[in-house]
């Protein structure tokens, strides 16, 4: 049986679509985001018997996708996509002190060193599968200021039937990020745009509605896509399975709220959790909303944790379709951590435990510290580590006075050859890359 999905903006007479259709469309025709029509109920006690992340993922996805992807295909896709570890590291291995019962869930052991590898790699393979069945092709167009671009480029590279065109702003991404974006990969074209991130986003949006590109099979791979969210449930499941004594809290460094929504989806389908802490930087729309202030989306503010610089989080609409405000307030706490406190958090955690947190991850422990001080968080807390510190050597150096060790796969990127073209910030400049 296929599982029906609906738009967050659906009315009673809106048709539902299958998971595959929702995945290929990304955004619903009415501008809404896809959610399942009825939340699946999953018996996580049984799921926890699975040994590995792919084992558990196959069983969980059966509840969310049904048999629209056959069991052997699902197993092949999941094993291929989720082929890297997600270690759960106790911050205070000897117990005691302010970080006792606090764990870091390292989500940066994939090829591009951020948690986005989970969603991008799995989504790419699902997309390849559904395109193959339909005999269609797609071009993924992404405007990126950071981790999304490299995760999508790497995750989709080499997929038959899919090409990727990446737009990134000249001189506005870090040297490590640029290396990751322009690394030569089959089927991927990086374009360096003479403009800022907003220019990149503007020309991408224009391309999606431009008549010249109507036949180009354009598609997007950002975190509004349900295909990126479902895989993000799995590391919450994995962590909960390893902490069987007590339901954990999860602390999630957040921007577009896609990571958090993955955890909420897992919980709403039965995963036992104590609650979530959404840790934001200065872009604090969601914490204002939860505190009951009359919150509106705000212009984006630049911070040290730039992958969380989102003034108008797109997955908020999805959270609202799943939970009303009182239910959200019961399940989720939010904190706003400014740059100064992020740096202080990197230093505090390092001095107390020797753990090196990147500037995104570090927002989490500070939010945990504040919530623990309020007496709000009892029992185990899992703080998600969303990026490897070696992606942000300048910030780590400024905070801790040394540069983090770069893992081999990051060092290897520098030697793999590069391809990039420069374009002016106009939709016309995309023509040679989108119309083959």
Task: Give catalytic residues, as residue numbers.
Answer: 116
What distance in Å separates the CA atoms of residue 186 and residue 171, rounded to the nearest whole number? 25
What distance in Å separates the CA atoms of residue 46 and residue 212, rounded to the nearest whole number? 51
In the complex, minimum distance from the CB of residue 392 to ligand PLP, in angstroms, rounded to a whole number: 9
Q: Which is nearer to ligand PLP, 241 or 395 (CB)?
A: 395
Stretch that binds ligand PLP, among 61-69, 205-213, 257-265, 267-275 (CB under 6 A): 257-265
User: Out of 110, 227, 231, 255, which residue is the one contacting ligand PLP (CB under 6 A)?
Assistant: 255
387 binds ligand PLP (CB under 6 A): yes
In the complex, minimum distance from the CB of residue 89 to ligand PLP, in angstroms, rounded to a whole number: 17
What distance in Å separates the CA atoms of residue 426 and residue 422, rounded to the nearest whole number? 12
Q: Which is nearer to ligand PLP, 109 or 431 (CB)?
A: 109
In the complex, minimum distance from the CB of residue 255 to ligand PLP, in angstroms, rounded to a whole number: 4
User: Which positions from 105 through 144 interact with ligand PLP, judged by CB under 6 A?
Assistant: 114, 116
What distance in Å separates the CA atoms of residue 21 and residue 229, rounded to the nearest whole number? 15
User: Out of 185, 202, 348, 360, which residue is the one contacting ligand PLP (CB under 6 A)?
Assistant: 360
Helix (H, G, I), strand (E, B) or coil at 52: coil
Q: Which is nearer to ligand PLP, 58 or 328 (CB)?
A: 328
For residue 191, give every residue at least 6 positions away whose Cβ sits within 8 Å of its Cβ, in sequence order, or none: 165, 166, 167, 168, 420, 421, 422, 423, 430, 433
CB atoms within 10 A of CB 169: 20
**Residue 211, class by beta-carbon neighbours within 10 Å (0-12 exposed, 13-18 middle, 19+ buried)?**
exposed
The answer to whether 148 touches 117, Cβ cutoff 8 Å, is no
For residue 86, give every residue at least 6 positions away whose Cβ sits within 8 Å of its Cβ, in sequence order, or none: 53, 105, 106, 107, 109, 235, 238, 239
User: Which positions from 151 through 170 interact with ligand PLP, judged by CB under 6 A?
Assistant: none
147 binds ligand PLP (CB under 6 A): yes
Stretch that binds ligand PLP, among 40-48, 205-213, 247-255, 369-377 (CB under 6 A): 247-255
User: Out of 8, 10, 219, 254, which residue is the one contacting ligand PLP (CB under 6 A)?
Assistant: 254
Length of the chain counted residue by residue: 436
281 binds ligand PLP (CB under 6 A): no
223 binds ligand PLP (CB under 6 A): yes
* Binding-residue total with ligand PLP (CB under 6 A): 16
DSSP secondary structure of 155-192:
HHTT-TTEEEEEEEETT-S-HHHHHHHHB--TTEEEEE
Q: Which is nearer to ligand PLP, 101 or 147 (CB)?
A: 147
222 binds ligand PLP (CB under 6 A): no
395 binds ligand PLP (CB under 6 A): no
380 binds ligand PLP (CB under 6 A): no
The answer to whether 16 touches 5, Cβ cutoff 8 Å, is yes
User: Out of 7, 259, 283, 353, which residue is the one contacting ligand PLP (CB under 6 A)?
Assistant: 259
Report how far apart, in Å, the C-alpha atoms of 9 and of each of 13, 16, 28, 383 are.
11, 12, 9, 32
Stretch that binds ligand PLP, among 161-169, 186-194, 197-205, 253-261 (CB under 6 A): 253-261
In the complex, minimum distance from the CB of residue 371 to ligand PLP, in angstroms, rounded to a whole number: 18
Tally of CA atoms within 13 A in the half-sphere of 198 that contains its CB: 6
386 binds ligand PLP (CB under 6 A): yes
The answer to whether 416 touches 138, Cβ cutoff 8 Å, is no
364 binds ligand PLP (CB under 6 A): no
256 binds ligand PLP (CB under 6 A): yes
Stretch that binds ligand PLP, among 26-34, 49-57, 248-256, 407-415 (CB under 6 A): 248-256
308 binds ligand PLP (CB under 6 A): yes
DSSP secondary structure of 304-372:
SSGGG--SS-TTHHHHHHH--HHHHHHHEEEEE--HHHHHHHHHHHHHHH-----TTTTHHHHHHHHHH
Q: Which residues bind ligand PLP (CB under 6 A)?
A: 114, 116, 147, 223, 253-259, 307-308, 360, 386-387
């Amino acid at each position: 049986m296929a599982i029906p999905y609906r738009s967050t903006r659906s009315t009673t007479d809106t048709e539902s679509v299958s998971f595959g259709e929702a995945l290929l469309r990304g955004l619903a025709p009415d501008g809404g985001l896809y959610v399942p029509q009825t939340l699946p109920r999953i018996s996580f006690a049984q799921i926890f018997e699975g040994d590995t992340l792919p084992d558990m993922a196959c069983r969980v996805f059966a509840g969310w996708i049904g048999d629209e992807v056959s069991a052997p295909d699902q197993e092949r896709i999941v094993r291929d996509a989720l082929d890297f570890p997600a270690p759960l590291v106790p911050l205070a291995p000897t117990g005691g002190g302010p970080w006792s019962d606090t764990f870091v869930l390292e989500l940066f052991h994939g090829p591009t060193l951020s948690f986005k590898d989970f969603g991008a790699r799995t989504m790419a393979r699902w997309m390849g599968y559904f395109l193959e069945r339909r005999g269609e092709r797609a071009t993924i167009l992404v405007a990126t200021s950071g981790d999304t671009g490299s995760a999508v480029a790497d995750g989709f590279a080499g997929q038959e039937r899919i090409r990727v065109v990446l737009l990134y702003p000249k001189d506005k991404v870090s040297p490590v990020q640029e290396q990751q974006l322009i690394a030569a990969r089959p089927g991927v074209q990086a374009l360096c745009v003479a403009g800022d991130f907003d220019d990149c986003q503007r020309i991408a949006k224009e391309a999606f509605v431009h008549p010249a590109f109507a036949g180009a099979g354009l598609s997007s791979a950002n975190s509004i896509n349900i295909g990126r969210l479902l895989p993000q449930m799995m590391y919450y499941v994995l962590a909960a399975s390893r902490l069987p004594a007590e339901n954990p809290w999860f602390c999630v460094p957040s921007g577009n709220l896609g990571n958090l929504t993955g955890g909420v989806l897992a919980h709403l389908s039965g995963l036992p959790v104590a609650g979530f802490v959404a840790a934001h930087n200065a872009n604090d729309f969601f914490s204002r909303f939860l505190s009951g202030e009359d919150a509106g989306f705000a212009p984006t503010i630049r911070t040290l944790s730039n992958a969380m610089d989102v003034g108008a989080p797109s997955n908020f609409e999805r959270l609202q379709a799943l939970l009303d405000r009182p239910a959200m307030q019961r399940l989720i706490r939010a904190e706003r951590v400014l740059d100064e406190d992020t740096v202080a958090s990197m230093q505090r955690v390092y001095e107390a435990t020797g753990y090196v947190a990147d500037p995104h991850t570090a927002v989490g422990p500070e939010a945990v510290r504040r919530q623990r001080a309020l007496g709000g968080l009892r029992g185990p807390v899992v703080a998600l580590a969303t990026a490897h510190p070696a992606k942000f050597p300048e910030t780590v150096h400024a905070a801790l006075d040394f540069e983090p060790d770069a893992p081999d796969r990051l060092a290897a990127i520098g030697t793999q050859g590069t391809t990039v073209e420069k374009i002016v910030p106009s939709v016309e400049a995309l023509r040679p890359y989108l119309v083959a």
